[in-house]
Amino acid sequence: MRSKAELQSAIRGTGRAVLMINVRSRRGRRLYGTARRLLDVAGLEFAEVFPVDDPDRLGELFEKVLAIEPDLVVVGGGDGTIAEAVGHLAHRDIALGVLPLGTTNNFARSLELPLDLPGAVRALRDGKVADVDVGWFEATPPSGAAPAGDVPAGDSGVEGQAEHIFANMISIGLSVNVAEQVPHELKRAIGRAAYAVTAVRLLPRHEAFRATIRIGDETYEMDTHQLNVANGAHHSGTRIARDASPDDRLLAVYRLGDRRRLRLASATARHVLTGPRRSLSEDAFLTTDHVHISTEPPMQVDVDGEIRGRTPMTIRLLGNALRVIVPQSFVDT
């Protein structure tokens, strides 16, 4: 692996860059031409350009991208597209550049990137290479997945286990139902507010669950409608805590409310209003680099916006596993 300075020098010099834009994302199709023009004006050149009109082909396209052996891969899209890129680029000597073209853009917010397209392009041109953390989880395959004998074993060598690298957030509870049922037309029309509208509709019928959280020798039990494990600093476009960062070597485990549905609503509102002022040192958070979670009943697990497994699950932090382009002001540890 090259040093960050060496990789940055290659990118600024004669290195190869690839551009991928999800033209099915909320703003991707509308802003594709503008993005190409701004990148060209900024002097950013690409060996290959891939407009992605079928997100299901992202894995296949990344095989082609990696075969080019680029120094930089610029990805335009929402959190789901960026999460797919993270899964392919983690532990590689390749920098990820982000054009935030989604609804919430949590990962871009955590990297302190401008959310407007001209600002994001300037960050690509003038920014620096940083190493940030990602997460890894292992869980039971999601409902409807292939039987255990048909699921390939991952790094653990355990057949029938779902494994995945994630960029920002693992969620259990109401948000999983919201992600599955939020109408795409509503997202296009009102953006982030579509998730809140859908949550209000689903909450009266949502059942609480009991979560058992094991960190080292400590075990915590809690009842809730929503449990999150964050690597990044933002959830639903809102900062989790003022000192949360994708570069802090910490996973933050926290619930929103308890068994009572109204407590979920009030806790979510408090999270939105006070997140920028809260600290990860507060009792509301459990911080760790390795956690095991089980639930009663078993629950579907949302990983960066996609259903990737069911509880029980194990989550680990992979420190400094991803190279990214960030603004010069980003604190890189």
**202-239 pLDDT, tens digit each:** 777 888 899 999 999 999 999 999 999 999 999 888 89
Look at residue 160 in the predicted model and tell me its pLDDT.
55
Look at residue 291 in the predicted model and tell me its pLDDT.
98
pLDDT (average), residues 152-168 = 62
pLDDT (average), residues 324-331 = 96
Lookup: tokens for 288: 């760790």
Same domain, 143 and 286: yes
pLDDT classification of 248: cutoffs 50, 70, 90: very high
Same domain, 40 and 120: yes
Same domain, 218 and 121: no
Alpha helices in 219-260 (DSSP H): none
CATH code for the domain of 13? 3.40.50.10330
Same domain, 167 and 44: no
Same domain, 271 and 145: yes
Q: Does residue 325 fall inside a structural domain?
A: no
Q: Does residue 243 surpass a pLDDT of 90?
A: yes
Same domain, 82 and 157: no
| Domain finish residue from 86, 105, 126 | 126
pTM (whole model) above 0.85: yes
CB-CB contact of 70 with 16 (8 Å): yes
Q: Does residue 68 fall inside a structural domain?
A: yes
Q: At what angle do helices 174-181 and 193-202 cross, to 10 degrees?
A: 110
Q: Does residue 122 surpass a pLDDT of 80?
A: yes
Beta-carbon neighbour count of residue 204 at 10 Å? 7
Condensed to tens digits (0 to 9), the pLDDT of residues 48-83 reads 999 998 888 888 999 999 999 999 999 999 888 999
pLDDT (average), residues 94-104 = 93
Query: Could you give the percent of the chain with pLDDT greater than 70?
Result: 93
Look at residue 158 in the predicted model and tell me its pLDDT.
44
Same domain, 88 and 50: yes
Q: Does residue 326 fall inside a structural domain?
A: no
Look at residue 261 in the predicted model and tell me its pLDDT.
74
CATH code for the domain of 251? 2.60.200.40
pLDDT (average), residues 153-170 = 67
Look at residue 144 in the predicted model and tell me its pLDDT.
58
User: Whole-angstrom Cα distance, residue 173 to residue 248?
Assistant: 26
* Domain total of the chain: 2
Lookup: tokens for 244: 């949360």
Alpha helices in the chain (DSSP H): 4-12, 28-41, 58-67, 79-89, 106-110, 117-126, 174-181, 184-190, 193-202, 261-274
Same domain, 152 and 290: yes
| Domain finish residue from 96, 126, 156 | 126
Domain that holds residue 18: 4-126
Lookup: tokens for 329: 């002001």
CA-closest candidate to residue 252, choices 315, 301, 163, 312: 315
Q: Does residue 215 fall inside a structural domain?
A: yes
Q: Does residue 145 surpass a pLDDT of 60?
A: no
Backbone angles phi, psi at 292, to 5 degrees: -115, 135
Q: Does residue 329 fall inside a structural domain?
A: no
